[in-house]
Amino acid sequence: MKISEVAELTGLSVSTIRFYEKSGLCPIIQRGTDGKRRFSKTDADWLDLLASLRATGMRMSEMRIFADLYASGDATIPKRKDALLAHRQSLAARQAELERYRTILDRKLQKYDEIMKDQK
């Protein structure tokens, strides 16, 4: 797979993918004879998972830990699962937070409505 295709698939930008490789968030990608990156299905899948983690607010430092576990092979799967569980927890917390803020904004909007009615 070409880098542009992985970008399309994952929603990450081409630069972000290169940046993630340089930062050690994914394995070093194989190159073709032309010097261009050739992504395996496994590489692409991993980057797709990273994209989900990033989109849900996981920090690079945490992603790096996760990536190091990934690089150490299948024996780390239980640990990876634990990390993912913890992240799902923090995602749920974030969702609850956003829900709280939504009601705050709604109340503020209501206030604006009242002010505008009074002035009419």
| Residue in 54, 67, 69, 70 binding DNA, rule: CB under 7 A | 54
Rounded alpha-carbon distances, angstroms, from residue 65 to 6, 25, 38, 120: 22, 9, 24, 58
- The span of 32-40, 73-81, 99-107, 108-116 binding DNA (CB under 7 A) equals 32-40
Residue 55 or 71 having the CB closest to a copy of itself: 55
Instruction: Tell me the C-alpha distance between 20 and 70, whole Å.
Output: 14
Rounded alpha-carbon distances, angstroms, from residue 4 to 23, 28, 38, 39, 48: 19, 17, 11, 10, 13
State the binding partner of 36 from DNA, a copy of itself, none, CB within 5 to 8 A by kind: DNA
80 touching a copy of itself, by CB under 8 A:
yes
| Residue in 10, 16, 26, 69 binding DNA, rule: CB under 7 A | 16
* DSSP run (H or E) holding 95: helix 77-119
| Residue in 15, 23, 28, 78 binding a copy of itself, rule: CB under 8 A | 78
Instruction: Tell me the C-alpha distance between 21 and 95, whole Å.
Output: 30
61 touching DNA, by CB under 7 A:
yes
Q: CA-based diameter of the chain, in Å?
A: 73
Binding positions for a copy of itself, rule: CB under 8 A: 49, 52, 55-56, 74, 77-78, 80-81, 84-85, 87-88, 91-92, 94-95, 97-99, 101-102, 104-106, 108-109, 112-113, 115-116
